[in-house]
Structure 1
Amino acid sequence: MTRSPIITVSRGRFSSTATQVLEQVRTARLASRDEIAAATGLSIATVGRTAALLVERGLLRERPDLARPGVTGRPGVPVEIDADGYLVIGVHIGRRIATVALGDLTGRVLASTTVRRPLGADPDLVQLSREAATLLGSCPGRVPLAAGLVAPWREIDLLPREREAELHDLTGLPARTGDHISAVAAAEFLHRRQGRSEAGGLTLYLYARDTFGWSVAVDRGVQTDVTRAASLTHFPTGADVPCSCGRTGCLAAAVDVLPDAARARILGATAGSVRDMLSPDQVVLVGQAFTGDPALRDVIVEAYAASTALADPVPVSFTRFGSDIQAISACTVALGPVLDDPLACVELTGVAAACRRPVA
């Protein structure tokens, strides 16, 4: 059965109790059992049992030193993601460069490396798995739980399901694939939402680097999904630049050859046009074509504002990740199997018994 191209980044009440507790702690960064119960609607008894099990398995850790003053008993003791025991392996395949990264369960990248790859060549997952093994040597004591593989699949003409199976065979880990632009949007959404519990409506993410496209995160409060990515490679810009498709003015062709200021204006105008088509609640610009030169950000924002025809202002911002976004997005996709069923994922590694910790 073919998996939906949608990336679920927040599972909410439609998931297991373990997932709900883990996701709530990831969102809040630090939460007591009574706060988790209030946010999820689960009973305090259910939260208490589930949190104790997640602590025992090494997915959460208690922080009695950060308990609220005057609060006694375990329900008032906060827990946080245990970022020291487990990790995930993320692989990002670009048209010219592949990135291999290790990330902890908060989504933070611990280590990464890049490998140049010939344009048009098949990705060498055997080599990339060896790179991952080398990185694991720099994180002694940590146990990998899952692997993620991200790529602009249509642009490089590969089938993600086949590569997902190959990565699973090479690593022995639950593996997950994601479209490059959707994965970038998922990473941006998860990191922006940490520490906030409110629903975010519809957020438009535009990506520009070697590939061009957009994706949206639809946050309904109880579950958040990132939709299938749409390409902007041949989006018409009006520029007098020939494209390999036989037309002139396609976005990728124009960005590739125009001077910096002209390129910035075209990127901003494209963002404004896509904003008008989708009418999102906010817009986030991602990828080195948007972020590579901070001096041009004002030009991009001005062109964005000048091109939009809708009356209601929509805030626009730039990714905080810069050149790290490829590693972070791959690790975000790798977290998918863990968040789907954290306890089962730990058991599947075959190391659960060694990682279990007694509950004080």
Structure 2
Amino acid sequence: MLSLVAPPTLGRTPLPAEGGGAGAVLRAVLAGGPLTRSAVGRATELSPAAVSRHTADLSALGLLRELPPEDGPPRAGRPQLPLDIDTRHHLAAGVHIGVPWLTFGLLDLRGRVVAHERLPRRGDAADVLRTVRAHLPGFVGRRAAGRSLLGLGVVTGGWVDSERGTVVQHGPLGWRDVPVRELLKGVTRLPVHLESHARALARAELLFGAGRGATELVELFVGNVVDAAIATGGTVLRGRRSRAGDIGHLPVPGSTEPCSCGRTGCLEATVAQDTVARRAHARGLIPAPEFDLLLRLAAGGDTEALGLLKERLTLTAPAAALLIDVLNPEVLVVSEAGLTAVPSLVGHLREQVLRHTRAEPTQLVTAASFGMEVLAVAACAGVLDSAYQRPMELRTARAG
């Protein structure tokens, strides 16, 4: 039976060792903090001297801080002051480029959304990136409260080549070979972390969400684009030219929905938000073919709207089950707006996945961990993942 809630021992697997001792210390405090230095040593298997050296370096960078001693009678010997993530100095900035919206976000070092704003997504790639360049400085200046930026994340769907900094193909947007990193270079004077939203959300779930403490995770993103991300050994796989997880063109039996790839019946075309919204509009459920209208109707309990969202999950379930059977992850996270708007639909998803898979009792199938702020979290996740993996390589820029 698949589990719907994280078991209390989800942190059963060790932290990944990549990223050097400073990264291991920082991730240990994120996962279990506040922690004393001795507890950090046990979690990382580093010597006391190494722990002290790395904590001093991380504190100097404004990433760790010592908490004041707990109230109580004094104890003999040098007090063991707990270490915690320092969220006072730095933020990650990001933008998620979706079909209907651009979502701008600022996150602190614990992955908490400090601010987010969204604008309608209009025009071609050049128009969109001009909008990002124009809006981002003001957004950061208004909302960052003087904290420095660790970097800029840019996240979207489709085939995203993270190493080249290029959106190779995004069918619903009509983008092909767009050099996003080059076009946004200099907007914050910091590195631009371009990533697909599935891989970005997988990183966020491993750091702050349902995958916290796990090393084997699959993220399935279902929006206007459908794709997956695979994490093994705590590392999110990109594959050759960053194409791992491209499942949007799996065939859906019985579907005749035309796809941008030229075929019909592809998963992405069949369950895309725009497709489902058109169905709802054609049935007279909503006054315009807008997915947000359908979500609001379903959240209010409308049975026909709920039926359409259930149908979407039913069509998605075989792909989710295939990912479980092929990859055997500890955690499968399905990021889909209907599950956020109507959390009880997770039960329907579980039932449908069970029809198609032979999952183990310890495997967790769940919705995304970040609620309505999921796109803001995705936008910034690559920046934060880089900070936790390679903290000694950080450069920062003052916001505003």
Band the TM-score falls in, shorter-chain normalisation: 0.7 to 0.9
Of 32, 37, 46 in structure 1, the residue corresponding to residue 36 of structure 2 is 32
1:122-133 to 2 correspondence within 5 Å? 122=126, 124-133=128-137
Distance 1:31 1:299, change over 3 A: same
Structure 1: gaps (5+ residues): 1-9, 352-360
Contact map agreement 1:208 1:289 (CA 8 A) in 2: no
The alignment status of 1:225 with 2:239, answered yes or no, reads no
Structure 2: gaps (5+ residues): 1-13, 158-166, 239-243, 280-307
C-alpha displacement of 1:101: 0.9
> What residue is the counterpart of 1:254 in the other structure?
270
Distance 1:249 1:99, change over 3 A: same
1:339-350 to 2 correspondence within 5 Å? 339-346=388-395, 349=397
> What residue is the counterpart of 1:235 in the other structure?
250
**1:33-65 CA-partner distances (Å, limit 9, x unpaired):** 111122222221221132123223322111133
Q: Which amino acid aligns with 2:145?
A: P
> What residue is the counterpart of 2:337 in the other structure?
288
**SS, match of residue 186 in structure 2:** helix
**SS, match of residue 326 in structure 2:** helix
C-alpha displacement of 1:183: 0.7
Of 285, 304, 322 in structure 1, the residue corresponding to residue 371 of structure 2 is 322
Tell me, in whole angstroms, the C-alpha distance in 2 between the residues paired with 1:96 and 1:68. Answer: 55
Contact map agreement 1:239 1:254 (CA 8 A) in 2: no
Distance 1:290 1:36, change over 3 A: same
Of 91, 96, 99 in structure 2, the residue corresponding to residue 95 of structure 1 is 99
C-alpha displacement of 1:332: 1.2
Of 56, 60, 64 in structure 1, the residue corresponding to residue 60 of structure 2 is 56
Tell me, in whole angstroms, the C-alpha distance in 2 between the residues paired with 1:28 and 1:104. Answer: 17
Q: Which amino acid aligns with 2:252?
A: T
Q: Which amino acid aligns with 1:214?
A: A
**1:151-172 CA-partner distances (Å, limit 9, x unpaired):** 2233153557x32233331210
Q: Which amino acid aligns with 2:371?
A: G
TM-score (norm 2): 0.74
The alignment status of 1:209 with 2:209, answered yes or no, reads no
> What residue is the counterpart of 1:177 in the other structure?
194
**1:317-349 CA-partner distances (Å, limit 9, x unpaired):** 111213311110121112244334434424x54
Distance 1:85 1:212, change over 3 A: same
**SS, match of residue 271 in structure 1:** helix
Tell me, in whole angstroms, the C-alpha distance in 2 between the residues paired with 1:311 and 1:172. Answer: 46
Distance 1:296 1:336, change over 3 A: closer
Q: Which amino acid aligns with 2:235?
A: D
The percentage of aligned residue pairs carrying the same residue is 29
The alignment status of 1:65 with 2:81, answered yes or no, reads no
TM-score (norm 1): 0.81
**SS, match of residue 381 in structure 2:** helix
Q: Which moved more, 1:59-68 or 1:316-325?
A: 59-68
**1:237-271 CA-partner distances (Å, limit 9, x unpaired):** 21343323554432233322463332232122332
Q: Which moved more, 1:333-342 or 1:170-179?
A: 333-342
> What residue is the counterpart of 1:6 in the other structure?
none
Distance 1:343 1:205, change over 3 A: closer
Of 60, 81, 105 in structure 2, the residue corresponding to residue 77 of structure 1 is 81
Distance 1:311 1:289, change over 3 A: closer
**SS, match of residue 307 in structure 1:** coil
Tell me, in whole angstroms, the C-alpha distance in 2 between the residues paired with 1:189 and 1:14. Answer: 14
Tell me, in whole angstroms, the C-alpha distance in 1 between the residues paired with 2:376 and 2:85. Answer: 20
**SS, match of residue 149 in structure 1:** strand
Contact map agreement 2:195 2:382 (CA 8 A) in 1: yes
C-alpha displacement of 1:92: 1.3
Q: Which amino acid aligns with 2:256?
A: V
Aligned length: 331
> What residue is the counterpart of 1:147 in the other structure?
152
> What residue is the counterpart of 2:287 in the other structure?
none
> What residue is the counterpart of 1:305 in the other structure?
354
